[in-house]
A and B are shown apart, each in its own frame.
Chain A
Amino acid sequence: MHLPISDKIELNILHQNSHQAEKNKVKFNNYNLLCLNIMSSPGAGKTRLLEITLKVLSKKFQIAVLEGDMTTNLDAARLEKLNIPVVPITTGRACHLDANMVSGGLKLLEKKINPDSLDILLVENVGNLVCPAEFEIGEHFKVALLSITEGEDKPLKYPIMFREADLILITKIDLLPHLNFDIDKLKSNIASTNPKADVIEISSITKSGLDLWQDWISKKILKFKNI
Chain B
Amino acid sequence: MTRVTRRHTICAAAAALAATPVARAAAQAAPPAMPDRPLFGAKQWQLANGLKVVHAESRRAPVVAQYVYYAAGGAEDPAGRSGVAHFLEHMMFKGSPNVPSGDLSRRVAREGGNDNAFTSRDVTAYFQQVEASRLPLIMAMEADRFAAALIPADQVESERNVVLEERRQRTDSTPRGRFQEAFRAALWGPQTWPGRPIIGWEEEIRATTREDLLAFYERFYAPSNATLLIAGAVSESEARALSEEHYGRVPARPAARRDRAPAPTAVHEARLVRREPQAREALMMRAFMAPSLTTDGAAHALPLEVLAHLLGGGQGSRLHAALVETGLAVSAGASYDGEAAGVTEFTLWAVPRRGVAPERLEEEAGAVVARLLDQGPSEAEVARATRQLSAGALLALDGFGAAPRMLGGVLSIGLPADVVEFWPSRLRAVTRPQVEAAARAVLGTAPHSTGWLLPEAA
Q: Please determine whether chains A and B interact with each other in the same assembly.
A: no
